[in-house]
Amino acid sequence: TAKASYTLNMGIVRNGVKYNTGFGMSIEPSGNSYKSTVVFAADQFGIYSGSDPGNYTAAFFVYNGQVFIRDALIQDGSISNAKI
Protein backbone atom coordinates (compact mmCIF):
# COMPACT_ATOMS: atom_id res chain seq x y z
CA THR A 1 0.00 0.00 0.00
CA ALA A 2 1.23 3.46 -0.85
CA LYS A 3 1.15 6.57 1.27
CA ALA A 4 2.73 9.99 0.95
CA SER A 5 3.22 13.02 3.16
CA TYR A 6 4.77 16.47 3.02
CA THR A 7 5.45 18.90 5.86
CA LEU A 8 6.84 22.40 6.06
CA ASN A 9 7.81 23.84 9.44
CA MET A 10 9.73 26.88 10.57
CA GLY A 11 10.43 28.41 13.92
CA ILE A 12 12.53 30.63 16.09
CA VAL A 13 13.77 30.55 19.66
CA ARG A 14 13.57 33.82 21.57
CA ASN A 15 14.52 34.18 25.22
CA GLY A 16 14.55 30.40 25.51
CA VAL A 17 10.99 30.01 24.15
CA LYS A 18 10.39 28.15 20.87
CA TYR A 19 7.80 29.55 18.45
CA ASN A 20 6.87 27.57 15.35
CA THR A 21 4.41 27.33 12.51
CA GLY A 22 3.86 24.91 9.68
CA PHE A 23 1.60 22.67 7.71
CA GLY A 24 1.39 19.07 6.66
CA MET A 25 -0.37 17.08 3.96
CA SER A 26 -0.78 13.34 3.68
CA ILE A 27 -2.66 10.66 1.81
CA GLU A 28 -2.88 7.17 3.24
CA PRO A 29 -4.89 3.96 2.97
CA SER A 30 -8.30 3.90 4.65
CA GLY A 31 -10.15 0.63 4.19
CA ASN A 32 -10.62 0.04 0.46
CA SER A 33 -9.89 3.68 -0.39
CA TYR A 34 -7.54 6.50 0.61
CA LYS A 35 -7.88 9.34 3.11
CA SER A 36 -6.29 12.76 2.59
CA THR A 37 -5.42 15.14 5.43
CA VAL A 38 -4.21 18.75 5.49
CA VAL A 39 -3.31 20.35 8.84
CA PHE A 40 -1.93 23.74 9.86
CA ALA A 41 -0.16 24.86 13.03
CA ALA A 42 -0.61 28.61 13.50
CA ASP A 43 -1.81 31.11 16.08
CA GLN A 44 -3.76 32.86 13.31
CA PHE A 45 -4.97 31.41 10.01
CA GLY A 46 -7.09 32.87 7.25
CA ILE A 47 -8.20 32.50 3.66
CA TYR A 48 -8.25 35.78 1.78
CA SER A 49 -9.54 36.82 -1.62
CA GLY A 50 -8.90 39.78 -3.86
CA SER A 51 -6.29 40.86 -6.36
CA ASP A 52 -5.41 44.31 -5.03
CA PRO A 53 -2.39 44.01 -2.69
CA GLY A 54 -3.14 45.56 0.67
CA ASN A 55 -6.89 45.34 0.06
CA TYR A 56 -7.63 41.65 0.56
CA THR A 57 -10.87 40.42 2.13
CA ALA A 58 -10.90 37.53 4.61
CA ALA A 59 -13.34 34.77 3.67
CA PHE A 60 -12.68 33.31 7.12
CA PHE A 61 -10.11 33.78 9.86
CA VAL A 62 -9.11 31.70 12.89
CA TYR A 63 -7.89 33.65 15.91
CA ASN A 64 -7.40 32.32 19.47
CA GLY A 65 -9.34 29.15 18.65
CA GLN A 66 -12.36 31.02 17.27
CA VAL A 67 -13.48 30.99 13.63
CA PHE A 68 -14.69 34.26 12.12
CA ILE A 69 -16.68 33.91 8.88
CA ARG A 70 -17.40 36.98 6.75
CA ASP A 71 -20.44 35.48 4.97
CA ALA A 72 -21.83 31.94 4.92
CA LEU A 73 -24.17 29.85 2.83
CA ILE A 74 -25.13 26.63 4.58
CA GLN A 75 -26.91 24.01 2.50
CA ASP A 76 -27.98 21.75 5.38
CA GLY A 77 -27.45 22.49 9.04
CA SER A 78 -28.43 21.52 12.54
CA ILE A 79 -27.56 22.85 15.97
CA SER A 80 -27.43 20.45 18.89
CA ASN A 81 -26.16 22.95 21.48
CA ALA A 82 -26.41 26.72 21.05
CA LYS A 83 -24.93 29.70 22.89
CA ILE A 84 -26.13 33.22 22.17
With beta carbons less than 8 A apart as the criterion, state whether 66 and 77 touch.
Answer: no
Please indicate, yes or no, whether residues 8 and 38 belong to a single structural domain of this protein. Answer: yes
The residue ranking higher by pLDDT, 80 or 53, is 80
The residue ranking higher by pLDDT, 59 or 84, is 59
Please state, in angstroms and rounded to a whole number, the distance separating the CA atoms of residues 2 and 47: 31
pTM for the whole thing? 0.68
In tens, the pLDDT along 38-77 reads 999 999 998 888 777 778 888 899 988 899 998 888 899 8
Residue 67 sits in which domain range? 43-74
**Looking at the predicted structure, is the pLDDT value of residue 26 above 90?**
yes
**Looking at the predicted structure, is the pLDDT value of residue 82 above 90?**
no
Please indicate, yes or no, whether residues 25 and 37 belong to a single structural domain of this protein. Answer: yes
Count the domains in the chain.
2
With beta carbons less than 8 A apart as the criterion, state whether 48 and 56 touch.
Answer: yes
Beta bridge partners of 6: 25
Please indicate, yes or no, whether residues 48 and 32 belong to a single structural domain of this protein. Answer: no
Calculate the CA 20 to chain-centre distance.
15
Please indicate, yes or no, whether residues 36 and 57 belong to a single structural domain of this protein. Answer: no
